Amino acid sequence: MKTKILAFATAVLIFGACTTKNKEDQGQADQNISALNLDASKFKSKIDGKTNALYLMKNANGMEVAVTNYGGRIVSVLVPDRDGKMQDVVLGFDNIADYTNNNNNFGAIIGRYGNRIAHAKFVLNTAAFTLRQNNGQNCLHGGPRGFDTQMFDISQADPQTLVCTYLSKHNEEGFPGNLNVTVTYTLSDDNALAIKYEATTDRPTVVNLTNHSYFNLSGDANNTILDHTLVVDADTYTPTNEQLIPTGKIEKLAGTPLNFKNPTVIGQRIDDSSFIAIKYGMGYDHNFVLNKAGDMNNAAAKLVCPSTGISMEVFTNEPAIQVYTGNFLDGTMKGKNGVTYQKRTAICLETQHFPDSPNQPQFPSTELRPEGKYLSLCTYKFGVE
């Protein structure tokens, strides 16, 4: 009990870091212990002229979430397993240098456009825009200097709420318009982490924001997620070409290795390369069209780990979810607790609009105009079975 009290006090001091310099100095000097076994002093850094720090949220059940300014990234999510033991269920690093020195999206806010835009080009209202390429000839996750590499300001830091803001300037990575972005993380006492994305623009643009957390509900990234059970409430998906750009069609999942309508062990069909979509994605890396788009009361997906009993439901108002099984993790990055992240040691469940929508008029529009407001909602709710 004494350890927990000390840990919570530490978390409160970290929150003070966003208000005044004296509190920042006090908080950072006291960071030898934290509730998440993270040393906040290892996150204190100047990046692009701004101060980076580590912020902790904690609910009444002991669930804890750590977030840092750089990319607005979720660094750690601590939840209880079926035996009451706390498990960190996301991949990441225990210091800011590893985030900035490695090409990764661990836990990051993704923008301006999550997923791919073909040929890094699109036309909006007869105006042509050229983006920066970073995935062959395509633009992936907003380009090489997407939101995952940007410093977010913290406008509010409370024990269960963190508000991150960022101004994406006109022509950043080639996207039009000054885009004011607010991302609010809220940790509720029912062990749900809600993410609210809001944005406004001063000229027409395209927006598709998401979070790129890598989940492993075993709490040990030495394990793969191949034994996890997945459900996705989708009957269709958007097939792609070899570069993972949608063909423009929407096809049925029934009878394919991509069908997760009923609980299915991820590893059961992940290597069925006779199905071309599996071959192109080197596993699962696909956009699932949700059956109940916009319905926040219906779980879009559910993930369960058999060894810990930890479950995670995903709720969203978005029309789709990208299921990515860490196929490109290659053992070159060493994360928290000294674990080397290997292929398929995590899964991403990214709520989103469709990839390449700016070039696919038949897909739901991602256009944002000055008179409008972008709003995207995603909740990750944890439990045990």
Which residues belong to the active site?
A: 212, 350
In whole angstroms, how large is the CA radius of gyration of the chain?
20
Q: What is the DSSP letter of 253?
A: -
Amino acid identity of residue 353, one-letter, is: H
75 touches 67 (CB < 8 A): yes
159: left (phi over 0), alpha (psi -120 to 50) or beta: alpha
Structure tokens that stand for 225 in this block: 């997620």
- Measure the CA–CA gap between 123 and 142, rounded to whole angstroms: 16
DSSP states of 265-296: EGGGTTT-TTSHHHHHHTS-EEEEEETTTT-T
> How many other C-beta atoms are found inside a 10 Å radius of the C-beta of residue 29?
12
- Positive/negative CA dihedral, 70, 320, 257, 217: positive
Question: What percent of the chain is helix, strand and coil (3-state, nearest 5)?
Answer: 15, 35, 45
Amino acid in the structure at residue 307: S
